[in-house]
Chain A
Amino acid sequence: MQSAERIKSLGHVVITGGCGFLGHHLVQHIQQYHPKTQISVLDLRTLHNNFSSESTKYFDADITDLNSLRDLFEELKPDVVIHTASPHLDAPRAVLQKVNIEGTENLLKCAAEVGTKAFVYTSSASVVMEGGDLKNVDERWPVITGKDQPEFYAHTKGIAEQTVLRANRSKEHPQFLTCAIRPAGIFGEGDVQVIPGILGALKRGQYKAQLGSNDNLFDFTYVGNIAYAHLLAAGALLSTHAILPSIPLDMERVDGEAYFITNDTPVYFWDFARAVWKAAGASDAMLDPKKVWVLHADFAMFIGNAMEWVYWGLRKGAPSLTWQKAKFSTINRYHNVGKAKKRLGYDPIVDLEEGIKRGVQSVLEREGWKMGPGGVVEVKKKQ
């Protein structure tokens, strides 16, 4: 493993959203690889995914409440802040706005004021999205916000990322270093979106339909690799901090920069779905490529759009096929992680196959699903 793995302690690390999907992986990763680190987890509710120990403490905190946040930071005085807290993609706009934009501003203020050295922000690969194909994009692509950005979530993430990067070596706090990690297609244990979505389709018997030609490549990234990248970034910022006020060469510089993080193995969209179904135990008959029904991409989007209107008309909520979903499964979205490899020393530590295995197993257990002999996912009674 990389040199950063050998650092026993990252000092005192605050993790916001530390009970969330990525956050709790970060906590476990630090406990395992940087055991001398002191961890303070901040989250709205800290009952789930709680791994408290002698060195890991949990605090109920709301990052949108500046005053109480300031008090907490006065008390904690962390060396490193890793800011993963964010509402769900589909959360109401007001909530996204408040947490992602204002919450991040609050955190930056509080951290800089108490002398935090390193601030790592969990951004999103979708900040460069404009709705169409993204092929092998790298950090030269501009952040898209405002009306050109089709997703409000990505808009708020983009604004917040820009605020974070502007705070790096600012006039008021020249010793405050920041950077941003942009994960793409995060999945793994504790996943509520990618793997459950794909397994849900299997459960509903929708495994026979394929939208589009399946020539589109997509990045899916195992959550553990993303956690690892965050800690490489934190370690690199601390090393840069140790040589302040000098600024590293442009080619080596970590602070003030954003990094795409993926598994570095883009795969064809439906291949990933099939690999997930296979890992869940789908039978050979269910995976038979001859039985796949291919819907043309434009037609699928048309149907998705029509379904949305019908469901809206019937007041039935969201249909299982929407325009957005159809579009998503037929476009290219993959990234080049050369910058993270060069500057952070990043390389995925868990490959796609292993990641899928872990993710599927954990989701099946959590949902109480299992593969029946008839090839259908059965629902067990939840406890």
Chain B
Amino acid sequence: MKSSEILYYAVHPQELRAIVQWMVWHNPVHERNPEKESETLKQCFYYLDFTSRSFAAVIKELNPELLVPICVFYLVLRGLDTIEDDMSIQLSEKEPLLRNFDQSIEKEGWNYDGNGSREKDRELLVHFECVVAEFRNLKPVYREIIKDIAKKMGDGMADYCNNAEHNIHGVNSIKDYQLYCHYVAGLVGEGLTRLFVESKLANPALLERPELHESMGQFLQQINIIRDIKEDLDDKRRFWPKEVWSKYVDKFEDLCKPENKEIAMHCSSEMCAIALENVTDCLFYLAGIKDQSVFNFAAIPQAMAVATVELCFRNPDMFQRNVKITKGQACQLMMESTQNLQVLCDTFKRYVRKIHKKNDPRDPSFLKISIACGKIEQFIESIFPTQKPKEITGKPVLDEKAKAEKDEAYWDGIYMAAAAGGALLFVTFFMFFIAWMAGARFDLAFSSMKDTLFPSGKGSGQLTNPEHKEL
């Protein structure tokens, strides 16, 4: 722990409490059993820890039925990502790698060592044969789903790499931006949903409304893109759509200039407003999950995302440095998103209210944010109503019986208080009596107490005014 962190938690004890509580009380729904795992699976979990900070923990607590499929799915996607991100790979080599990735994962012993040495997840692809081995052991239905998503995502990524326009100018319209998020996150949502439904851990109706899992992915990805603006810009990547930022600045880089502080916040508000439109769908989606471990897996990132919106919204710091929610906040959020939908909804509502409180009428997206917050509150009210139509009809009338009961309760209260007081008094007297019998001198105790409480005139003059003597 850094000294700055110690200082932070000293003044935020409730966050420290959340960390302690999470560490002490969190019981995983399921735990993996490393003793029964094959060598290649152990390796897979090693690379899961190695490549993912946030997802590794929740994946490892998944229902045994989905533990390995989702771990493999994650590593496959991570593999694709590692190829796409690496600017040192030539396009002519990269494109077929991406497009054929769904076939590569079926070839026993397949791996890839063409990543640049600076690529942080290089090791995963160098030893990818362990993932392939585990992939080949999966049930055919799960294999089919993972393969299908790998194909769609690989093609989507290859299209973006090929698109020179995209590489130079970044994302153009809001629609393009959402399409990009679809390829990198919406497809993950689709794959996961199919896995959940196939394993009977989620309601099959989730597949009939694809816009719901699309929103799950869109929300997470859009929030990452908003939060990482500074980091991405330093790496010369631009994911914010020109359709949005061009309303505020002429050049994308200008968003980070100190003189544009206010304008940049307006721009990020519009991005937040667009992202918040997905939230009601996300909550609806989570209502369709039947298994606790799957719920936790899906809900935790969503809760983190809504807290991140609150952190970024009208926060000029995000244009100067990388902003992150604190560990204490994260633990609090994990506790609240590993229970049930109602607890999670309360969390969402709390953050929505915080966003609403930060909203500024001078911001061009003021009304949009207000509407987005109102919609989320209305949705939560619709699934967990605090009012029912019956309650509103007529006021309760006290009939004779109820009145008698109320009277009785009143007298019961009086008797109880009298009995308790009497018992206390009796015990007090009894103790004094025992003490007196044992030789206690209450007379001396009383007079010394009197002296300390009400000192006599003589003594007090000397004690309180020593200066007078000298004068």
A interface residue numbers (CB < 8 A to B): 128, 130, 133-138, 140-142, 144, 148, 214-215, 217, 265-268, 271-272, 274-275, 277-278, 284, 287-289, 334, 336, 352-353, 356
Contacts and interface: CB of A to CB of B under 8 A. Distances in A.
B372 to A, nearest CB: 9
A352 B373 contact: no
A294 to B, nearest CB: 11
In this complex, the interface size class of chain B, counting residues with CB under 8 Å from chain A, is 20 to 34
Contact of B361 (A128, A134, A287): A287
A354 B371 CA distance: 13
Interface string B387-409: 10100111100000000000000
B452 to A, nearest CB: 46
Contact of B392 (A138, A141, A278, A336): A141
Contact of B371 (A135, A277, A336, A352): A352
Contacts of A289: 360-361
B389 A142 contact: yes
Given A142-B392, A275-B370, A278-B366, 7 more contacts: A142-B393, A144-B392, A215-B356, A267-B370, A267-B374, A268-B373, A352-B367
B378 interface: yes
B367 A275 contact: yes
A233 to B, nearest CB: 23
B102 to A, nearest CB: 40
A136 B381 contact: yes
Given A148-B394, A215-B353, A274-B361, A265 B382 contact: no
Given A141-B392, A142-B393, A287-B362, A135 B374 contact: no
Contacts of B375: 265-266
Nearest to B380: A136
Contacts of A334: 374, 378
B377 A217 contact: yes
B374 A140 contact: no
B359 interface: yes
A287 to B, nearest CB: 4
A134 B361 CA distance: 26
A278 B361 contact: yes
A217 B374 CA distance: 7
B378 A268 contact: no
- Looking at chain A's contact residues, the main secondary structure is mixed
A130 B389 CA distance: 12
B378 A266 contact: yes
A271 to B, nearest CB: 4
B367 A135 contact: no
Contacts of A353: 367-368
A289 B359 CA distance: 9
B386 interface: yes
A253 B379 CA distance: 25
B387 A271 contact: no
Contact of B382 (A130, A215, A287, A336): A336
Nearest to B367: A275
8 contacts: A135-B386, A215-B353, A265-B374, A266-B377, A274-B361, A275-B361, A287-B362, A289-B360
A265 B260 CA distance: 32
B140 interface: no
A217 B377 CA distance: 9
A284 B378 contact: no
A111 B196 CA distance: 58
B459 interface: no
Contacts of A217: 374, 377-378
A142 B374 CA distance: 25
B387 A275 contact: no
B385 interface: yes
Nearest to A263: B371
Contacts of B393: 142
Nearest to B370: A271
A278 B363 CA distance: 10
A265 B387 contact: no
Contacts of B367: 267, 271, 275, 352-353, 356
A272 B381 CA distance: 20
Contacts of B392: 128, 130, 141-142, 144
A330 to B, nearest CB: 15
Contacts of A275: 361, 366-367, 370
Given A141-B392, A267-B374, A133 B387 contact: yes
A26 B319 CA distance: 49
A271 B377 CA distance: 15
Interface in B331-372: 353, 356, 359-362, 366-368, 370-371
B351 to A, nearest CB: 14
The listed residue with most A CB atoms (<10 A of its CB), out of B373, B374, B394, is B374
A135 B377 CA distance: 10
Contact of B374 (A138, A266, A274, A284): A266
A274 B366 contact: yes
A260 to B, nearest CB: 13
A141 B387 CA distance: 10
B389 A141 contact: yes
A136 B389 CA distance: 11
Nearest to B393: A142
A34 to B, nearest CB: 30
A136 B382 contact: yes
Contacts of A140: 389
Interface string B111-144: 0000000000000000000000000000000000
Nearest to A338: B382
Nearest to A148: B394
A277 B366 CA distance: 12
A334 B386 CA distance: 13
A356 B386 CA distance: 30
A267 B352 CA distance: 13
Contacts of B385: 135-136
B359 A271 contact: yes
A217 B375 CA distance: 10
Nearest to A142: B393
B371 A267 contact: yes
B371 A265 contact: yes
B114 to A, nearest CB: 51
A288 B362 contact: yes
Contacts of A133: 387
B361 A268 contact: no
Nearest to B364: A278
Nearest to A353: B367
A140 B368 CA distance: 30
Contacts of A278: 361-362, 366
Contacts of A136: 378, 381-382, 385, 387
Nearest to A287: B361
A265 B370 CA distance: 9
B373 to A, nearest CB: 7
A217 B370 CA distance: 10
Nearest to A215: B353
B356 A284 contact: no
A138 B389 CA distance: 8
Nearest to A279: B367
A287 B356 CA distance: 15
Nearest to A285: B362
Nearest to B372: A265
Contact of B387 (A135, A214, A266): A135
A265 B375 CA distance: 6
B349 to A, nearest CB: 10
B348 to A, nearest CB: 15
Nearest to A283: B362
Contacts of B370: 267-268, 271-272, 275
A273 B258 CA distance: 32
